Amino acid sequence: MKRVIEREFIGVVLLGPPGSGKGTQSKRIASWYGIPHISPGNILRDAVKARTSLGMKVQKAVQRGELVSDAVVCALREERLNEHDCNSGFVLDGFPRSIAQAVWLDVFLQERSLSSATRCGTALLVIQIELDEDQIFARLAGRRICQSCGAVYNLYAGPPVSSDLCDYDGNALIVREDDHPEVLHERLVEYTHRSLPVILYYKNEDRITSVQGSGTPEAISRRIFSKIKNQRWLRGAESRSGH
Ligand code: AMP
């Protein structure tokens, strides 16, 4: 069966606590619809690793699990979302994480659609992945990443073939710096204080839908894809069975 063959703009925002699977699910959506996966967390971590000027600026916040300033993150978003490959859509993973970022995104999309000759749209499908705190800690305790290629594993739910080595390039797997328990606690506090209001922002305008984040990645994907397929902008489009 064919992938989506006719569609309008697909703008998906995945929200949820650390460990809810936003990264994994974003990659799947992006690859299925052929749209870019945009994650400020990955960009910021890479910048810290490469010790660029941006990396030096945000290093402390990222290592402590605190949010980077709205100005820095929105400037990064603007640059990325203006790239040509975002004209037909994108999946935002970990953005917006504050009310200021959510308002910025709405204004940005409106202005872009007014000024653009392309089919850039403004409609977002905002999906909240719900997961309780016990499951978050259990899941992140098992998360391992490959420092060179970025592949993500879970020792319990999706382990590598050979323990502690990446299946793709054989490099050593490590615990992400901000997955250590003290930092994780800080990330959850930040999530509750700054990101939960974002969920309320979209709820007040009836622009958000939620899915349960428990179960296998495949089960969560099925829930998410069924929400996407129910969207007006995908009606009539063909999609492969199995999602
Ligand atoms: P993540 O991989 O999405 O959990 O992000 C890792 C870290 O990057 C966070 O703990 C923050 O320090 C920073 N970060 C990621 N996204 C944002 C955002 N939208 N606003 C501010 N800081 C962010």
- Token duo for residue 72: 């820095």
User: How far apart (Å, rounded) are the C-alpha atoms in residues 141 and 124?
Assistant: 32
Ligand 1 atom, smallest distance to 62 CA: 12
- Token duo for residue 120: 């850039």
pTM above 0.95, yes or no: no
Output the residue whose Cα is nearest ligand 1's atom 12.
Answer: 62
In the residue annotation, 143 being an active-site residue is answered as yes
- Model confidence band, residue 36 (pLDDT cutoffs 50, 70, 90): very high
The single residue of 77, 80, 187, 194 carrying the catalytic annotation is: 187
* Cβ of residue 17 lying under 6 Å from some atom of ligand 1: no
> Do 108 and 137 meet the contact criterion of CB atoms below 8 Å apart?
no
* Cβ of residue 18 lying under 6 Å from some atom of ligand 1: yes
3-class SS letters over 98-138:
CHHHHHHHHHHHHHHHHHCCCCCCCCEEEEEEECCHHHHHH
Over residues 125-156, the pLDDT tens digits come to: 999 999 998 899 888 889 999 988 989 998 88
Q: Which CATH architecture has domain 10-36+83-132+196-241?
A: 3-Layer(aba) Sandwich (3.40)
Over residues 159-179, the pLDDT tens digits come to: 999 988 999 999 999 998 888
In the residue annotation, 22 being an active-site residue is answered as yes
Over residues 57-107, the pLDDT tens digits come to: 999 999 888 899 999 999 999 999 999 999 888 999 999 999 999 999 999
List Cβ neighbours of 153 (8 Å cut-off, separation of 6 or more): 143, 144, 145, 146, 159, 160, 166, 173
* Cβ of residue 65 lying under 6 Å from some atom of ligand 1: yes
Residue 69 CA to ligand 1 centre (angstroms): 10
Output the residue whose Cα is nearest ligand 1's atom 11.
Answer: 67
Closest CA to 21 of 155, 173, 214: 214
In the residue annotation, 240 being an active-site residue is answered as no
* Cβ of residue 191 lying under 6 Å from some atom of ligand 1: no
In the residue annotation, 144 being an active-site residue is answered as no
On the question of pLDDT at 241 being above 70, the answer is: no
Q: Which residues pair with 11 in a beta bridge?
A: 90, 124
User: How far apart (Å, rounded) are the C-alpha atoms in residues 243 and 229?
Assistant: 9
Domain ranges of the chain: 10-36+83-132+196-241
The single residue of 176, 203, 207, 222 carrying the catalytic annotation is: 176
